[in-house]
Structures are given as structure tokens and as C-alpha cells.
Structure 1
Amino acid sequence: MKPSSSLQKRLGLGLTLGMTLLWLGATVGAWLVVQHELNEAFDSALEETAQRILPLAVLEISNREEPREAQHVATLKMHKEYLTYLVRDASGKILMQSHDANPKIFNQQPTEGFTTSEKYRLYGASALRETLFIEIAEPLDHRREAAREALFALLLPLLALIPVSLLGTWLFVRISLRSVLAYRRAVEARGVGDLSPIKVARLPAEIDPLAEAVNHLLERLRKALEAERSFTANSAHELRTPLAATLAQVQRLRHEAPEGPLRVRAAKIENALRELARLSEKLMQLAKAEGGGLLSETPQDLIPLLAHGVDEWNQRSDQRIELHLPSQASVYSNIDPDAFGILLRNLIENALKYGATDQPIEVSLTEQAQLRVVNSGPAVPQSVLQHLTERFVRGHSEISGSGLGLAITKTIVQGVNARMKLVSPATGRQDGFEVCVWLPLA
């Protein structure tokens, strides 16, 4: 699945890109206007220069002894001329020219008005009833250089504006989405058992309906889970009573029956009822594991819960369980006490059922809430080990059981966001079976 992109990133990049494109568009428009105005200003300068030089040229030519001879106008100081001019008669003969003028760049015959060649912009004017003409030439490179400088002056601020705008937009969007980020953190921090409404102040108007819908969904889910837990508890109670009554009647029938096939049949019915009662209990545990409510709203100390559970099983199994507790006084976790009891009960029951009968069961808890249950016995093949957490799968088919113990344990582990690992042979041994569960610390 393609990962979703950040709204903050999209807004920051989108707004910055949009502003950059608008700036570029405005720059192009402004540059076109500036270029047009520059052309008008340069054309006006050409026309004005021609109007000022022409009367002086007429006076100079009229006062010559030889008016038809060409004359170069000397310059007072050597410099680069942007404007060069020629003064010619009607036939095109040069009568006067600027010191750096190149006659090849001018029109062959003098004309009035503006003309444009490949590299020059020219303007011509006449005097004395079109007997004297002046043409002034200006290089187009001069105008293009001025236009480029104007364009660079408009684009240069954009280099600093882009990073400043990106940073400013990112900060503004981050501040604006602060309540949304707080809402996201509140949702992420929720555990499986916390279905209370999520309250975050000052959400944007577009997000607020979504938050209300989530709270309504949580409320409906909480009611559904409560109804499921109530149904599970009532069903367990209702099933235990008739099963216990039926089992008692069958036991009485077995004792009252004479030796023979009837007593054997009654014993088989008794064993079947015991298996049915155990299966019913496992199914109720599985229903609770899948129904939610596996996390407690208040942290629970695992040490007294573990000690009580192990002591209860030791009374049933002739003190076969060795308990190892951490040195610190308490280990707090968010797991629900009932869920922890079911998890511990299934792990110990599995170890007692499949472990060696002449070896003790080791149960330990670390300061990091790591629960280990180790039993002796033949090692479990890897091909079987990876399927033991599936429902109705047993390690030894000759041993009676429902095959739900480790499946219930795995369901609880997943429900509390914990981790579980099956190891065989056990750590530091040549045989045995080990279950490690890393419970969530408070």
C-alpha cells in the first residue's frame, strides 16, 4: 500500500509552489511592461537626440567653406558610444558623422522615422526641405542588456523568498494543525481497553465532525463489548451448572452401577463430560480474549498476581512449579488481571500436561515484564513448533486436550500489544519447551 503523505508537507510545498508560480507570472508580466517602457524611453531618446543635433549640424554645414565635404566630429574624451549618427544629403552623401560611426550599419538612402535592422534601432529626421538628413543608430544589445538587468532585478528576490516562504508556510501550517496533531497523538495513545471519548479542544471545523463520529463509534463499541462480556459471563455460568449437575449424576450412576459394561460406559460418559466442561471453559476464555477488555485503565502489579496463580496451581500439582521473581518490589503492567490470569493458567496447564512428570516447571518474571514458562521433556520439532499457536493444534496427539491453550495465549498477547516466542529446546537446555511473553509495561 502506498504510504500517505503529510498534510503539512503537501500544504507547505503546494503553497510555496503556487506562490513561486504566481511570482514568476507576475515577473514575466512586469518584465514585458518594463521592456515596452524601456523601448519607448530609448526611442524617445533617439528622437530627442536627433532633434537636438540636427539644427547644430545644419548650422555647422552652412558655415563651412566647403559644405559638401564630409567631416568627423571630434570627441573630447575617448568613450564607448551607444549612439552614433550620420548627416547626409538627399543623395546619401555623408556630410558629417560621429567619431565612432560605421556607415555600413545605416540605411543606404536616408529615411525619416524609426527603422530596425538586425542589430540596430535607427531614427531619421530631415531639415531644409528634406535636403539634409540625420540618422541616429543605437545597438539593440544595449536595450537587451537593460531588459535582462530589469528581469534579474525582479527574479533575484525570489531566490530568498522561496526558502523563507517554505519555512514560514511550514511553521504556520504546523501551528494551525497543532490541535489535529494532538488529536492524532491521543488516538495513537489509546490502548485496546480504553474506549472513553477523545477530547481535544479547538479542532478545525473540517475535523471536528470526524472527531464526533469517532467518539460515537467508540461509545457504540464500548456498549457492544460490554454486552459481549455480559453474555460470556452469563453463558459460562449457565453452562457450568448443567454440566456439573450432569457430571454428578453420571458419577453417582457409575458408583451405583454393578461391575460390568454399564460401569465402563458410565466412566466413558464421565470422561466425555469432563472434556466437554474443559472445552467449554476454553471456549469462554477464547471468547473473552477476542472480545476486548484485555487492558486495564489502571496499571496492575504482576508480582502478587503471578504468586497467587502459581500457588494455586502448586496445590493441584504437588508443588511442581518453581517461581522466580525479580529483585524489585513490583512490576506494573497495563494488562487486565483476569486476562493475565487466563494467560498464566493456559501456559502452566500446557507445561504440566506436556512436560516431563518427574521434572519441575519453571515460571519466572523479569523487571521488564518478561514472563517465562519452561518445562522439561522431548524437544518439539520446528515444523510443529510454528503451528502450536493455531487453534485445535496439539504437540502430542496421544495426550488429551482441546488444542486451544496456546491459541488463547496468542490472542491475549496480540490484544495487549505484547510479544510471544516459543523456543524448543529451552534456552540453556538440550530438551524442553519454553514460552516467553513480553508484557506491556505501564
Structure 2
Amino acid sequence: MSFPWAEEYKPKHPAMQWLDQRLPLPRLVYGAIGAGYPVPRNLNYFWNFGVLAGAALAIQIITGIVLAMHYAANAGVAFDSVESIMRDVNAGWFLRYAHANGASMFFIVVYVHIFRGLYYGSYKPPREMVWMLGVVIFLLMMATAFMGYVLPWGQMSFWGAQVITGFFSAIPVVGENIRIWLLGGYAPDQAALNRFFSLHYLLPFVIAGVIILHIWALHIPGSNNPTGVEVKGPQDTVPFHPYYTAKDGVGVGVFLLVFALLLFFAPNYLGHPDNYIEANPLSTPAHIVPEWYFWPFYAILRSFTADFILPAKLWGVLAMFGSILLLFFLPWLDKSPVRSSNFRPVYRVFFWILVVDVLVLGYVGGSEATPVYLMLGQITSGYYFAHFLIILPIVSALERTRPLPNSITEAVLQGKSGSRMSETAVDGNVAPAE
């Protein structure tokens, strides 16, 4: 803990004293999410999304464990076992829809969490490790979600696996061998389904382990805040509990309400109707698309249509993976000493252009590959890479930033620490300064 004024854990009950001496688990929890963890006093509701991501992961693990008790990872009966879960298992429809839509909710909150980090500069020193572990979590999420999408063994599941794994064959020399290794054969079949099921079951627990490292890394420098100004003393912080446990509780309540509306009133809205047709290797769907949360990357993947030194297919694969791996280097691409976009007027404009660019990429990725959409995808893909590799370094070097407040407390008392993303002030969110 890097805050010397943090309240020390002192158990009063004899049983808790006995436990603390032999297994200091309560002390660990107290220092992680209790009154022993001081947090900047000006955090807004965009800081709720880390907790919401944890809640979404918990929902996925719990529903996934129960679903695994009834699912059959066999190419001959996998589709029927999913239908049996929906129709014959008590509350099976609820578990299956909660798991499928829970994945979408998980990606929604993680995308907001990522863009909040981009807006407020949470990737800057000394929080580079927090950011990079977050990118690792995102990659693990994508792998888990892709393999989970294959398990229902519907038309889109089968052909999605066929197309996505087929892109690995574009890698020179070893590509085809990697594809065969991934599938356990030459096409998605029993071996692929077994592999994907076992990894889909395992990876959420790996994600949970990396999240523990993510939180551990966060607790060393402490949380960033909307001003980007570091904590200078106890007057800049409040205990995590009860101030932010209450605030996070409100966020979790809203999250569960939105989740319930999606689950009970539009459970198939984010899915694809072709996945309710059993997989048929002899019938190719007219329009093969992955799940919606992969659409921006799918648009980048298929933006390369002509060979140039390397095959277009390989360029697409490199660009798709590069678009994510690029985030690892973000702390060194952005040289500006100012973190928050609230004090970076030029960067703030380009940030919102990036948000629009990613949304357009998502729209293009979910659309048919017509010439118009391919051209739009190429333009938006080009801007995506230009933002991080060209625009960001230039802006960070030349931008004239606004003056920073001397401290978090000064910003709170002057009402200047609000989130420009939500256009709301944070006065009254936490206790006033002593």
C-alpha cells in the first residue's frame, strides 16, 4: 500500500483476531476494498465499470458452470443438447440466455472501461502495468468468447469457426499447421468442439486470476481520477468503503436492471438467427459474421483486398491482431505529461473522432462486404492506426494543455473535477474536505 495514512486493520472480535494471526484474509479484503484503501475523492460514475466487469465475469462463471453440467461437447448432439437445456432443464432457458447475453454485457462494460482509460490517461506512468494487464484480460475475453460462440454448433457457430481459424492459414510456412492444430483436423468437427469447450471452460478462471493481478497492480500507485492529478495527502482521498461501495452498488443496480431488460424482453436481439439452424458443412450462410463485439476487428480483417508484397489475407490477419497489440505500447506512444483529456483540448477532439471511427468500424464489420462498405472499412481502419501511430505522438508533443489544479481537493472545491464525458460535476459525490 502506497498510502501511509491508510487506516490499519485492527480486528476487535477474538475470533477475527485469531483468524488474522493465522490467515490474514480479512486484512487482505480490508486493504483491497475496505476502509483501508484510500481512493481519490473525485471519482465519477465512469469508475464503476471496473466493478461492473467483475460482476459480469461472476455471472458468466456461475451460469457457465451450471450449463456445463447439461451440455454435451459432441458434434452429433451438441445442437440438440443446447435445445434440451432451453426446453427441458429447469430454468435452462434463463441460464442459457443469461450466459449468452452476459457475454454481450461483459464486452459493453469492458469497452466503456477501456475508453474511459483512454480519455483520462489511465495508461500513463505509473500505471502502465495496470493497463497492459487490462489488455491481456481483453485478449483472453476475446478468445473465450470466440470459442463459446462455437459451442451451440449452429450454422453461424460452425462457419464462424471455419472462417476465423482459416485466417491462420495465411501465416507463411506454419499457418496451415497452426490451423490444423487449433481444430484438431482439417475442418471444425468433434476434435475442435472438444478443444473449444475445454478451453472455454478454463479461460474464465484464467481471466479471474489476471484480474487479481490487475487489481494488485492498481493498488500500488492507486486509482487515477478525472483530473489526472496524483493524490498529495489524506485530504485528497476517502476510504473506498463506504463511499465507493455505495456508489458501485448504484452502478451494479443499474447494470442488473439493463441486463434484466435485455434478458427478459430481447434475449435474441444481439444474436444471429442462423445460429438456431443446426450446423451444416454443405450449406454456407449468405452472410457470415462473428458476434457483434468482434465487428470492429472483423472490419479491419477484411479491409485488405489486394496483395502487396504479402498476401491480402495475411495483411488482414496482421492488422486485426495489430489493432489490439498496439494498445500495449500506448503508454509510450502518448508522451504528454497531462493525463486527463479535460485539460487536453486538442486530444479530446481526436478522442471523440476515434470513438466515432470505432463505431463505424463496428457497423461495417456487421454489414455485407459490398464495395461501399469495404471502402468505408478501409478508411476507418486506416484512421484507427493513424490515430495511435501518427496523430497521438504528434498531438502529445505539440499540444498546449490547460493549467492543472494544484490538488484533487482544490479541483473538487472549485467544481472543476467533473467528467466532461458525462457533463456532470462530482460535487457531493463524496464527503467534502475536512
TM range (shorter): under 0.3
Q: Which has the higher contact order (CA 8 A, sep 6+)?
A: 2
TM-score by length of 1: 0.24
Select the structure that is richer in helix.
2
- Bigger radius of gyration: 1
TM-score by length of 2: 0.24
